[in-house]
Chains A and B, each alone.
Chain A
């Protein structure tokens, strides 16, 4: 019996079985739960999206980014400002928020992308803080200073508004689902392999003709754009954005999601996001002690599972190719997918 379960888990059919179980669970969940817990699951979705977006940068390419909340903020404020001043529908601002955040990432990261390791980490901290402080200082009177911008509309699909917890729940999880599909296929594409190659050994990657700089920038732009999408949805759900939602702490949380889950692993990131967003809820009865336990859990996690809860398997790419029936071994010197 036990072996049978293991076998089922390991085969493709078994995976489909578990996947459909999870999907059914997600579809049924909101109908069994109160609005409060639907909202909890909504924020789980937001953190999942943020985790996935940072995972592109941190997990796939191995760039230490501790200022990701900056991109999240840019997305949220783009939506908030353009919606409240010009009245552009929130849903139309979704791609625009993604674009703004991505473009900002391109501008800001171009001069710093050559930095390595901890130096890069520090620059991103500085960048995130500059974004937050700039929003706080209300440049040109558009960000509303410490109060932020409020009165953001609900997204409208034309035939209905997304205005209840239930609808927001499905909205965020459909977006997360689409992102997962996109990122999974990106992982197995030429781009994904180039990213992983850079993460493992930058010099070897460069020697193999991978344009390290462009690929790193691409990862940053994609990661920032996804964070911008999360910002857009967050802004429309809360109807208010203020600088304190995008603090250094928020960047730290995203960083922890990726590391607790497992770098570069999509299921890992989802588990990490669940841990970060659900943990404080589960421990809510303990009120002021919950963050204490949260910090302690972060430490214990890293002591006992430094690779994360669900680390990405080495050689996953080869296995994926075998599944798709690609059996031809690569010739020496041939670039994978070239």
Chain B
């Protein structure tokens, strides 16, 4: 039982990565009905920007801000720069083709993904990059008798805070209400005076920024990053989005956590080589039996 629960904790850690990335997918899909294939690469880009800050500015930053300040600055720099890239991608690759339907947008998103991925390869090189070792001292903690590392605990707490604050923004603020209204019915929302462009701007700042912070956390957790990792995380996160109900933010969070846990348990108790297959099998089964996801509402098909 001890081991099972520790595996679940590991799963929740990975699951919170998926959940944070999934939020970006879900917001964009909710508003634009666009599968933003470039989102996984925003995550990778964030990871690389964080890596650069941590490696090249570490001495100066640590001297002034201490180790925690340095990590916070790395995350902040990653979030801001990737949010800028997100805005540029939206402006260049998506905005000109909103009017031409859904399929051209899929190809354009794939194109954007290829561009970002290859830019990363050109800037940082095609090889794996390693995050500095032991940024956060690897202290094993005992909580209620279960082993959990300090890093894991921090990741879980931080993801929880990020998700909670996003949930607050979306559910409780006026601007969040505008986003929800736009997701429900874009034209009516526009008639009520909601600025559609501002909503898009907002989701393309927030989604990539969350992805970038996740990228830095993944870098610190696994310590090894590669320019192609966005595909894999992107696909998993998207699966999580579907699992929870596409366009539904609490669903995306729940989906990510469930997916990470199932992947970890499947890997530990059934077969580690086949764990990714479970993920996609879950995706297919969910889509067959409950296409709206766990928390999704039934949407009547338009005739």
Given contacts A133-B274, A306-B104, contact A291 B114 (CB under 8 A): yes
Q: How far is the CB of A200 from chain B (nearest CB, A)?
A: 14
Cβ contacts under 8 Å, B119 to chain A? 292
Query: A130-B280, A259-B103, A259-B107 given as contacts; is B118 within 8 A of A288 (CB)?
Result: yes
A175 in the interface (beta carbon within 8 A): no
Q: A338 contacts the other chain (Cβ, under 8 Å)? A: no
Q: Is the interface of B mostly helix, strand, loop or mixed?
A: helix
CB atoms of A130 and B277 under 8 A apart: yes
Q: In terms of DSSP, what is the predominant structure of the interface of chain A?
A: helix
Q: Does residue A250 face the partner (Cβ distance < 8 Å to B)?
A: no
Tell me the smallest distance from the CB of B171 to a CB of chain A, in Å. Answer: 25
By a CB distance below 8 angstroms, the chain A residues around B276 are 129, 133
Contact between B284 and A123, CB atoms less than 8 A apart: yes
User: Which A residues lie within 8 Å of B92 (CB)?
Assistant: 299
B257-296: CB near A (< 8 Å → 1, else 0) gives: 0000000000000000110110011011001100100000
Contact present for A297 and B111 (CB under 8 Å): yes
A256→B235 contact, CB < 8 A: no
Residues from chain B with a CB closer than 8 A to the CB of A299 are 92-93, 108, 111-112, 115
Asked if B96 is an interface residue, CB under 8 A from chain A, the answer is yes
Q: Which of A26-34, A94-102, A109-117, A160-168 lies at the binding interface?
A: A109-117
Query: Residue B113 at the A interface, CB < 8 A?
Result: yes
Residue of A nearest to B115 (CB): A295
> How near does chain A come to B208, taking the closest CB pair, in angstroms?
17
B121 surroundings in chain A (CB, below 8 A): 288
CB of A328, distance to nearest CB on chain B (Å): 32
Write out, one digit per residue, whether chain B residues 9-43 have a CB within 8 A of any chain A CB (1) or not (0).
00000000000000000000000010100000000
Given A137-B274, A302-B100, CB of A126 within 8 Å of CB of B284: yes
Q: Counting CB contacts under 8 A, is B303 at the interface?
A: yes
The reply to whether the CB of A310 lies closer than 8 angstroms to some CB of chain B is no
Min CB distance B28 to A, Å, is 12
How distant is the Cα of A134 from the Cα of B276 in the complex, in angstroms?
A: 10
Chain A residues contacting B274 (CB-CB under 8 Å) are 133, 137
Residue in B closest to A120 when the chains form the complex, CB atoms: B287
Chain B residue at minimum C-beta to C-beta distance from A125? B235
CA distance A68 to B195 in the complex (A): 39
Answer whether residue B204 sits at the interface, using C-beta atoms and an 8 A cutoff: no
Q: How far is the CA of A259 from the CA of B107 in the complex (A)?
A: 7
For the complex, give the distance between the alpha carbons of A117 and B102 in Å.
10
- Tell me which residues from 218 to 266 in chain A have a Cβ below 8 Å from any Cβ of chain B: 248-249, 252, 255-256, 259-260, 263
Asked if residues B118 and A298 are in contact (CB atoms below 8 Å), the reply is no
Of B114, B115, B117, B235, chain A has the most CB atoms within 10 Å of the CB of B114
Would you call A295 and B97 a contact (CB within 8 A)? Answer: no
Tell me whether A203 is interfacial, beta carbon within 8 Å.
yes
Contact A116 B301 (CB under 8 A): yes
Known contacts: A112-B284, A255-B107. The answer to whether A126 contacts B118 by CB under 8 A is no
Asked whether B106 is an interface residue with its Cβ less than 8 Å from the other chain, the reply is: yes
Q: In the docked arrangement, what's the CA distance between A302 and B105, Å?
A: 7
Q: A residues within 8 A CB of B281? A: 126, 130
A122 interface hit (Cβ, 8 Å): yes
**Can you report 26 residue pairs joining A to B where beta carbons are below 8 Å apart?**
A64-B103, A115-B288, A115-B291, A119-B242, A119-B287, A126-B284, A127-B284, A130-B281, A133-B280, A134-B277, A137-B273, A255-B106, A256-B111, A259-B106, A288-B122, A292-B115, A292-B118, A292-B119, A294-B114, A298-B107, A298-B108, A299-B93, A301-B107, A302-B105, A303-B96, A306-B97
Task: Apart from A118-B102, A298-B111, list 8 A-B contacts with CB within 8 A.
Answer: A64-B103, A129-B280, A137-B273, A289-B118, A289-B122, A292-B115, A299-B112, A302-B108
Give me the interface of B with A, judged by CB distance under 8 Å. 33, 35, 92-93, 96-97, 100-108, 110-115, 117-119, 121-122, 231, 235, 238-239, 242, 246, 273-274, 276-277, 280-281, 283-284, 287-288, 291, 301, 303
Interface set of A (CB-CB < 8 Å, partner B): 64, 111-112, 115-119, 121-123, 125-127, 129-130, 133-134, 137, 203, 248-249, 252, 255-256, 259-260, 263, 288-289, 291-292, 294-299, 301-303, 306-307
